[in-house]
Amino acid sequence: MTLRLQPVRVATDSEDAEGLLVFARDNLVAVLVRLSDDQSDDTGKWFLEAGFGRIYRSRPPIFSSLDRAQEWIAASLAAEN
């Protein structure tokens, strides 16, 4: 599955954050945000800010890399077939 990523700034509680809109088949399926709190071990990791359809999670995951996030999204979408 091919995912298309579109950079976007996301308003968070503390500041604007680097984000990505994730599209599959021209449908918005997720919003990822790069964590930037210098006091956290998760700095630089990617957080599922919002997931739609099969991507929705009540407890959104944190991914060690953008590649891992894309792999997880693609696998989650493939599970619906």
- Sign of dihedral through CA atoms 54, 29, 43, 67? positive
Give the model's confidence band at 9: pLDDT under 50 very low, under 70 low, under 90 confident, else very high: very high
The total of structural domains in the chain comes to 1
* pLDDT of 38 higher than 70: no
pLDDT higher for 67 or 13? 67
Provide the whole-model pTM.
0.89
Dist. CA 51–CA 53, nearest whole Å: 7
Rounded CA gap, 81 and 44, in Å?
32
Yes or no: say if 23 and 4 are a contact pair by the CB < 8 Å rule. yes
Instruction: For residue 32, report the phi and psi dihedrals to the nearest 5 degrees.
Output: -105, 145
Domain that holds residue 63: 3-78
pLDDT at 30 over 80: yes
Q: What are the contacts of 3-12 at 24+ separation with CB within 8 A? A: 3/29, 3/70, 3/73, 3/74, 5/70, 10/49
